[in-house]
């Protein structure tokens, strides 16, 4: 019965999405308001939510006659992880993707009429088509509601890595809200290509949904890094995994789009560039879906080949072709950009342009490193590995230049200024950065780490200088200004954490017998014993380590390994002691069969916590910049310096 309800709900959602698309395109072509567009979108949302609810109901009732429950459910799995197991496997995660997608569609269809109302109808139509495709994928290619016979008495439960940390309930939904949310700017970009209208109304329509998606994606990426650090046992938080990269690339382009909209809002420049970023950001999110569900990459984040890869690839190719056709048609009608003339080299406009170019350059670099192994293996059959050395060599210099633009850009005049004034403006950030570079270098750090830390100091000094200047003038920063500054501060804090934890970490790995010790960076861990035990789901073995020296003197930690018989998988259970200055990270790699010893990795990772704080500040900046609820329309006012600012 549950399976029938779920299948019927998916079929109804698909029909409602198709009806929404038909009504939206009819409205766009005729200009007549069609209530059908709104209520069909809400029916699609209700039906999609019903299909998700049916799976959750089957999971919670342990209805093993449903294929998805038989493959991913278990009577011993706690309720929280039973609920989150919906998105722990391919078919269930596709349902969550559809729920988020149709939610955006319903909100977009119900959006109050505004200055870009003619664009909204086209955008609703585009998003409806995308929703119909993914709903059809879940209905016809997915197997979540298939029946099982004979019905098993129990199941293996979700994958252990996805059922042993509370972030499982937050990280994937946040990523989906961010990645799927890019479909709204994509829809408006296609609408602009169809109508030829990419003016102020387009900017106003795109800004709010883009910020929602960017904020959720930022929080999701940082939360995923924390999860990786706390669970996988390798002591890191970012491995340039292909699926990790597929969340980073859309984020980079969405960040570039946020900045390009500043110039669009102010003087109408970067119109076609902004359209391109809006289109490519969502298409790169779709690339991530293809890689995750095609089985072509090996990743802890990817699902096994489920047969949907070719269908998704076809959708991606068709989307690219359609956009190229529209762009080609509009290119013949090209008109000069409506800018305000050339900008001075030392101006905020130039800094924003540099910002966009660098973000796109980083994105292209990551894309090449991600897809090159896939292409090489596809055409030659040989496996090629692109790892951290490539990204460190290629991405870090571009990121350093981006920090430099962040440090000086927001303080510069918009277009015209005399050189002496511009030099005075950047003097404080430059001086602060230089002092930090010299101090860190004298302390024995590498040149690269010293330069990056100096640039972070320059970013913070620039923010402080702006604040001091405003206090002296009695000025009050606008909402967008405050949001941008908090986000930029978060970037600087996060980069400090990444740099310090990468450049100054100390790690020792050694096999210990009971009574032996291991020392790293002034912290000593002594193995006092090995504990063994089991619970309903797993067998666990833990090394008992007593710490001495450092801030955690006298602490006892229990890093270990957990073996899940139902899945025949072993996962690490590291012990992490955090503090303002850094973490002590202990992990067990292996345990002697007789319990007399273990192989232990002990690390001291400086300033890792700054990464989580910086990510939180970035997300907070996104929240602060959310548009206020729309009020009654007023005559449009010209942009002011206070309101037209970066992120």
Q: Are residues 438 and 514 in the same domain?
A: no
Q: What is the pLDDT of residues 6-19, one digit of tens each?
A: 999 999 999 999 99
**HSE-up of residue 195 (Cα within 13 Å, Cβ side):** 23
Residue scoring higher pLDDT (330 or 556): 556
Q: Is 458 part of any domain?
A: yes
Domain end call among 169, 201, 217: 169
Q: Are 283 and 69 in contact (CB under 8 A)?
A: no
Q: Are residues 91 and 154 in the same domain?
A: yes
- The pLDDT, as a whole number, for residue 645 is 38
Any residues with CB less than 8 A from the CB of 324 and at least 6 apart, and which?
Answer: none
Q: What is the pLDDT of residues 524-565, one digit of tens each?
A: 999 999 999 888 888 989 999 999 987 888 899 999 998 988
Query: Which stretches within 381-418 are classed as H helix?
Result: 388-408
Query: For residues 239 and 224, what is the distance between their CA atoms, to the nearest angstrom?
Result: 12
Q: Is 523 part of any domain?
A: yes
Q: Are residues 423 and 519 in the same domain?
A: no
Q: Is 453 part of any domain?
A: yes
Q: Are 484 and 492 in contact (CB under 8 A)?
A: no
Q: What is the pLDDT of residues 492-531, one digit of tens each?
A: 999 999 999 999 999 999 999 999 999 998 899 999 999 9
Domain end call among 104, 139, 169: 169
Q: Are residues 510 and 599 in the same domain?
A: yes
Q: Which domain does 477 fall in, by range?
A: 407-504+612-624
Q: Are residues 480 and 532 in the same domain?
A: no
Q: Are residues 463 and 533 in the same domain?
A: no
Residue 347 vs residues 107, 266, 413: alpha-carbon distances, Å: 38, 14, 5
Whether the pLDDT of residue 254 is over 60: the answer is yes
- The pLDDT, as a whole number, for residue 643 is 39
Q: Are residues 497 and 423 in the same domain?
A: yes
Residue scoring higher pLDDT (149 or 411): 149
Mean pLDDT, to the nearest integer, of 380-409? 88
Whether the pLDDT of residue 234 is over 50: the answer is yes
Q: How many domains does the chain have?
A: 3
DSSP secondary structure of 38-92: HHHHHHHHHHHHHHHHHHHHHHHTT-TTBHHHHHH--TTS-HHHHHHGGGSSHHH
Mean pLDDT, to the nearest integer, of 27-45? 90
- 190 C-beta neighbours (distance < 10 Å), count: 26
What end-to-end distance do the CA atoms of the chain give, in Å? 50
Q: Are residues 141 and 39 in the same domain?
A: yes
Out of 159-173, 371-385, 592-606, least confident range: 371-385
Query: For residues 97 and 142, what is the distance between their CA atoms, to the nearest angstrom?
Result: 13
Domain end call among 169, 202, 224: 169
Q: Is 496 part of any domain?
A: yes
Residue 188 vs residues 30, 123, 166: alpha-carbon distances, Å: 18, 5, 36
Whether the pLDDT of residue 305 is over 70: the answer is no
Whether the pLDDT of residue 90 is over 90: the answer is no
User: What backbone torsions phi and psi does residue 526 show, to the nearest 5 degrees?
Assistant: -110, 130
- The pTM of this model reads 0.91
Mean pLDDT, to the nearest integer, of 354-367? 95
Q: Are residues 41 and 115 in the same domain?
A: yes
Based on the number of CB atoms within 10 Å of its own CB, is 592 exposed (0-12), middle (13-18) or buried (19 or more)? middle
Q: What is the dihedral of CA 50, 54, 56, 59, to 10 degrees?
A: 180
Q: Is 330 part of any domain?
A: no
Q: What is the pLDDT of residues 116-148, one digit of tens each?
A: 788 999 999 999 999 999 999 999 988 889 898
Q: Is 133 part of any domain?
A: yes
Q: Is 205 part of any domain?
A: no
- The pLDDT, as a whole number, for residue 170 is 92
Q: What is the pLDDT of residues 192-211, one digit of tens each?
A: 999 988 888 899 899 999 99
pLDDT grade for 88, boundaries at 50, 70 and 90: confident
Q: Are residues 588 and 451 in the same domain?
A: no
Mean pLDDT, to the nearest integer, of 217-236? 90
**HSE-up of residue 456 (Cα within 13 Å, Cβ side):** 21
Q: Are residues 468 and 531 in the same domain?
A: no
Residue scoring higher pLDDT (384 or 84): 84
Based on the number of CB atoms within 10 Å of its own CB, is 522 exposed (0-12), middle (13-18) or buried (19 or more)? exposed
Q: Is 527 part of any domain?
A: yes
Q: Which residue, chain included where needed, has tokens 């395109």? A: 25
Q: Are residues 532 and 477 in the same domain?
A: no
Q: Residue by residue, what is the 3-state secondary structure of 441-475?
A: HHCCCCHHHHHHHHHHHHHHHHHHHHHHHHHHHCC
CATH code of 523's domain: 2.60.98
């Amino acid at each position: 019965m549950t399976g029938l309800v779920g299948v019927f709900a998916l079929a109804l959602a698909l029909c409602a999405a198709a009806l929404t698309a038909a009504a939206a395109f009819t409205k766009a072509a005729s200009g007549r308001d069609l209530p059908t567009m709104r209520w069909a979108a809400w029916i699609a949302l209700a039906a999609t939510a019903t299909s998700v609810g049916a799976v959750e109901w089957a999971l919670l009732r342990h209805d093993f006659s449903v294929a998805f429950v038989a493959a991913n459910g278990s009577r011993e799995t706690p309720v929280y992880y039973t609920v989150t197991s919906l998105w722990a496997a391919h078919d269930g995660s596709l349902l969550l993707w559809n729920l988020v997608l149709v939610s955006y569609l319903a909100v977009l269809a119900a959006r109050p009429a505004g200055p870009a109302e003619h664009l909204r109808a086209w955008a609703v139509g585009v998003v409806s088509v995308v929703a119909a495709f993914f709903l059809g994928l879940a209905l016809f290619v997915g197997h979540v509601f298939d029946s099982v016979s004979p019905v098993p008495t129990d199941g293996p439960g979700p994958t252990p890595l996805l059922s042993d940390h509370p972030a499982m309930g937050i990280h994937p939904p946040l990523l989906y809200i961010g990645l799927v949310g890019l479909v709204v700017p994509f829809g408006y970009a296609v609408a602009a290509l169809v109508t030829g209208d990419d003016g102020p109304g387009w900017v106003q329509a795109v800004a709010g949904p883009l910020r929602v998606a960017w904020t959720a994606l930022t929080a999701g990426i940082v939360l995923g890094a924390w999860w990786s650090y706390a669970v996988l046992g390798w002591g890191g938080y970012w491995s340039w995994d292909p699926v990790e990269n597929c969340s980073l690339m859309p984020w980079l382009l969405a960040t570039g789009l946020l900045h390009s909209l500043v110039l669009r809002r102010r003087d109408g420049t970067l119109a076609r560039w902004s359209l391109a970023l809006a289109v490519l950001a969502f298409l790169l999110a779709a690339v991530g879906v293809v890689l995750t569900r095609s089985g072509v990459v090996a990743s802890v984040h990817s699902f096994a080949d489920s047969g949907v890869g070719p269908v998704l690839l076809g959708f991606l190719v068709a989307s690219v072709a359609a956009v190229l056709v529209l762009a080609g048609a509009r290119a013949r009608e090209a008109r000069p950009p409506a800018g305000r003339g050339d900008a001075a080299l030392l101006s905020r406009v130039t800094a924003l342009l540099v910002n966009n170019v660098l973000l796109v350059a980083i994105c292209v670099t990551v894309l090449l490193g991600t897809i090159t192994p896939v292409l090489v293996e596809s055409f030659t059959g040989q496996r090629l590995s692109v790892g951290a050395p490539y990204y460190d060599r290629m991405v870090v210099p571009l990121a350093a230049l981006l920090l430099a633009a962040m440090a000086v850009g927001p303080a510069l005049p918009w277009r015209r200024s005399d050189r002496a004034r511009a030099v005075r403006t950047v003097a404080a950030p430059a001086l602060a950065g230089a002092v930090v570079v010299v101090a860190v270098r004298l302390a024995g750090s590498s040149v690269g780490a010293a330069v990056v830390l100096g640039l972070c100091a320059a970013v913070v000094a620039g923010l402080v200088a702006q604040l001091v200047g405003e206090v002296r003038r009695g000025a009050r920063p606008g909402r967008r200004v405050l949001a941008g500054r908090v986000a930029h501060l978060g970037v600087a804090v996060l980069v400090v954490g990444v740099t310090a934890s990468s450049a100054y970490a100390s790690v020792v790995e050694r096999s210990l017998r009971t009574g032996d010790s291991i020392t790293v960076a002034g912290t000593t861990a002594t193995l006092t014993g090995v504990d063994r035990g089991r619970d309903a789901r797993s067998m666990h073995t833990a090394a008992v380590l007593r710490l001495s020296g450092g801030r955690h003197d006298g602490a006892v930690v229990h890093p270990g390994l957990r073996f899940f018989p139902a899945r025949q998988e072993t996962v690490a259970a590291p012990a992490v002691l955090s503090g303002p200055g850094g973490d002590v990270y202990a992990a067990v790699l292996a345990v002697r069969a007789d319990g007399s010893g273990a192989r232990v990795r002990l690390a001291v990772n400086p300033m890792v916590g700054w990464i989580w704080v910086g990510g939180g500040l970035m997300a907070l900046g996104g929240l602060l910049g959310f548009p206020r609820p729309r009020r009654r329309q007023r005559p449009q006012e010209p942009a002011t310096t206070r309101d037209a600012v970066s992120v």
